[in-house]
Amino acid sequence: MRMIDIIEKKRDNHSLTKAEIDFFVSGYTNDTIPDYQISSLMMAIYFNGMNDQEATDFTEAVLNSGSIIDLSGIEGIKVDKHSTGGVGDKTTLVLGPLVAACGAKFAKLSGRGLGHTGGTLDKLESIKGFNIALSNARFLKQVNELGIAVAGQTESLAPADKKLYALRDVTATVPSIPLIAASIMSKKLASGADVIVLDVKIGEGAFMKTLDDARELSRIMVKIGENFGKKVIAFITDMAEPLGYAVGNKLEVIEAMRTLQGNGPADLQTLCTEIGAYLVHGAGITEDVKSAREMIEEKITSLEASDKFKTLIETQDGVYPDLNDYIHAKHIIAVKSEKSGYVKNLNALDIGMSAMRLGAGRETKDDTIDADVGIVLNKKVGDKVDAVEDLAYIYNNKEDITDEIKTILNAFEISESVQEKKTLIYEIIN
């Protein structure tokens, strides 16, 4: 088998066989096929796509390039959730304790943030002492006993994906739907869960910009999961504006804590309740989604979910945050509106990029996170605004943030006419 023949075949828009896909994935992983040939193939796939069988075979090849987590030591049905990334997305911090409080087994391997999207591990590590490096035995034992564990992904998990993504990132082939689907699903399948809910974001702050693209990505990922005998449900949700009000690691931890106590933003609480209901029902705990939703709401009201989060932190060696001594940003600066009206649009990408430049995120994987900085919104789409009223607050440790004040101010589009709130959940695909 020759790599040039595979490139020519995909260039001419023909389907690749499983053997051909296995050949180039293993060859690239083992350094026997050079970057320039894989780059050429990735571009051919970018333009000509893959059918469902190719996407499934590609996912399997990437999955088998490394280790697969064995969760058979965990009793019952294991559930997991994945988000395609967004601004202010602290869903896992709320969702995990919620479903665990209902009796589901939430076994979560998470990653770090890069660019304008935040990472769950960065948020959790902003909590003093929180340990994300759990041994396999400790991870399994904790999920069995507590119902939840959140740890870092190991280097041995789908190593082909790491190499391929790095190459796609510098060859303008990241926005390929089958390649994105295989990248996500190879890691999720390697993580070993039985039921997976995918939160596919669309909008300015997301990889997917249109509903049609999000639909197609969701459809392929659900199909891949089905082909592997997993139950996969995809939520298509809005990321035109940030989720919740807080953007930044410690700020998002605080917002998650308040949400678990029933005092969080409506959009965050609604999203976690809906996704959580499908996970709880999928775990076989309730007869239908409606009953699962009611159970989740009761766990918030009773503070059982909040207690579960506190226990999770302490079990993983962390110190539950004292909200009076948690944020240590030197400056808190208000960004004031220059006119009255209603918020028509709030650009999530601009907010996310601004937070990253303040130090809340990484531009490169080697950058250091400043967990104390970030942005707290005071207004969102549909809200009424008066001139000189506060639109947002910048938590920062820099002396001059003139450019960020301007960026955040321009992220808000103010209209004279009344505006409707954004749609949060567009579709559920299962």
Side chain identity, residue 86? G
Q: Name the maximum alpha-carbon separation found in the chain.
A: 68
2 catalytic? Reply is: no
Phi, psi of 170 (to 5 degrees): -105, 5
How far apart are the C-alpha atoms of 248 and 353, rounded to whole Å?
Answer: 11
82 catalytic? Reply is: yes
How far apart are the C-alpha atoms of 105 and 222, rounded to whole Å?
Answer: 21
35 catalytic? Reply is: no
Catalytic entry in 187, 188, 201, 299 = 187
Catalytic entry in 80, 122, 161, 267 = 161
Catalytic entry in 78, 82, 90, 112 = 82
Q: Answer for the pair 55, 220: CB distance below 8 angstroms, yes or no.
A: yes
5 catalytic? Reply is: no
161 catalytic? Reply is: yes
Phi, psi of 212 (to 5 degrees): -65, -45
Catalytic entry in 108, 116, 168, 201 = 168
Catalytic entry in 110, 183, 186, 306 = 183
Residues carrying an active site annotation: 82, 161, 168, 183, 187
